[in-house]
Structure 1
Amino acid sequence: MTTRRPHRRSALPGTAAVAALALFATACGSLTTDDSAGEAQTHTVEEGFHVGLLLPELQTARYEAFDKPYFEEALENLCPNCELSYANADQDVDEQQTQAQAMLTSGVDVLVLGAVDSEAAAGTVNEARGQGVPVVAYDRLAQGGVDMYVSFDNFRVGQVQAEALLGALDQAGTAGDGQIVMINGSPTDPNAGDFKAGAHEIFEGQVEIGQEFDTPDWSPDEANSQMEGAITSLGLDEIVGVYAANDGMAAGVISALRSAGVSVADLPPVTGQDAELHGIQRIVAGEQYMTVYKAIRPEAEIAAAMAVSLATGDDLDAGEYTVTEVEDAGGEKVSAVLLDPVAVTVDDIADTVVSDGFYTVEQICTDDYADFDFCKEAL
């Protein structure tokens, strides 16, 4: 577990981004908790307070490369005197519980939790609430009655993936010629269930699903094995498309297809999610059809603003974003901000991940990809 100690600066930065963030939380106030929580605490931005950030895994590159630094930057902008403790559980439920207990013992004043297992996380949430520590559910809706939640519209993510895949099948003229394979995410991640449900709503009556798998831990290796099994069961000629729930698993799927003798030119369209750099490069190379881009910076910034709001007791003003209400598996209602996902094919890379500064053209167009059309035009 790493801890960033606070440091003092003479003034808050004056950038537009920080000004926008200021809409989310004001400078002072007191924490208000419900009757089931422990003793309420009072905190101010001027004095600072202690925030704990727990992220779930390393299989997906986004958490270390983007979520953590974006959150750290946003918290420092909103609360320069705050202290941040950070840990990543690397997909280990017990390890995350240990990390959370260590943070609570060290005296964190608010916890931002990206749960490994949302149901198992209820114990951590209840322990935090018992100590008067509010919890922000980050990216995945932890159970147990969290105070606030920020993520993407995960049902819509699945719809976007499925719509893109159907569009690719229509364009290729193969929509009615065969079956698709669905490689869904981890059964312990409620987001995966939402992606799956959204995709099924779009696929229903439009395409035949030949085989479908839930993939423990979002494992690319497991996705590779599942795809090998689907190829054996259905036959290569019968598979016209693959719904892969994220980019890591898409890599496993594509590897299985290539090992089975499918050329790049003959690969069926394969979906993805998270706009990982290798996923974008596979799209450039024509191996992967699309990914879902989720603008992680605003998600991390909103999470930081929620943490400040809860620690100071001030209302959350979501500015341009809509504050809604979601219900967790236990029936608890939670105030939430759900961001919109964006489909990215090769035609959209410049206007999404590049224009947003997520990646530069140089990062995408390394020597192995410089001769593909996107890079020839962009360099």
Structure 2
Amino acid sequence: MTVPSGATGSDYYAQVFSDSPTVVASALSRVDIIGGHTDYNQGFVLAAPMPLATTVELSAVQDDVERSNGRIRIEGFSTMTGDRVARSVPSSPDLSSHDRRGDWLDYVVGAVRELQTAGATVTSFRLAVSGNVPIGAGLASSASLSVALLRGLGQLFSHMLEGEILAKTAQRIERIHVGVNCGIMDPLILADGSLENALYIDTLSLERHAVRLDPDYSLEVIDSGERRRLAEVGYNLRRDECQRAARALGVNSLRELKGDEQDLSDLPPPLDRRVRHILNENLRVQQARRALEAGNYQMLGRLMHDSHLSLRDHYEVSVPALDRLVDECLSSGALGARLAGAGFGGCVVALVERSERGAWCARIASLNAKAHIFDSCSN
């Protein structure tokens, strides 16, 4: 189905369904400043929302046939895929099972199931999904969709979720209903963050501290153009490797280990490298928070680059396109740069002095014709 190119916001729902939506809700995207793969190891992260967003428009519909059969009909359109799809699911599902089919409606059904579990009464509905968060770029497009769906469906069916509860529910959508064993960082940043601040999170206690971003510096997000899907690459494998390493070391999670004092000589490769990255990355996140609070952006940049080198060499989640782009960011004058998100493709985040941004962007464009620079976390 083709939607007119000028259609924006609620125009999508109107163009597809010839009606106006009852509810419109959205969620931002996220860039992680530092803290690669530490969140599912109960470690520390430092990240910030960025002004790319996913929007959902919804209306409940009367469907007497489905209701009489004890079912809910979901009809949706997504600008990301360009398709109009529908699914009929039991209105009182067996919550020990799932309705996973491998398309974007898995997120929608997951949100429905989670809200039902929380006590919401959900009936048949229509929705349109739109946004400008690139899929597979490492900017939390999945979490953005999940949070937007929970906000929209929660408003539509009078069961709103907030803060940690919203974040944990969005995480369950991905884990249980989509099949990606993700951490808590992405949904928590989107549920609880603001564009003016970075958010430091202890993912074990969920203690959070907002840290003001100095407007004299900007976090620039550059899309390498190389895509990946987390469920189809090494994300779950890396998580499994960390769990195996924790069992071998006699701890519940790698968070319990004592930083660079830990003896890893008994761990076989590559588990020793995976653990070394997590231990040192947790230390880097804490140092980065202190650097950001002190206004030491030179130090923050160095820590970001050290993070990338460790993600490349120890955690092995970088790819040549990301490595080249990091080098180009640094040679063009960035204070630091690292891969964003889980790696295996996607984006790089670079720390740039605001006064140098124009010239820096021009140099990146001259070096890499495929690179696309988003207006990310600039204030």
Instruction: Give the shorter-chain TM-score range.
Output: under 0.3
TM-score, scaled relative to structure 2: 0.27
TM-score, scaled relative to structure 1: 0.27
Higher strand share: 2
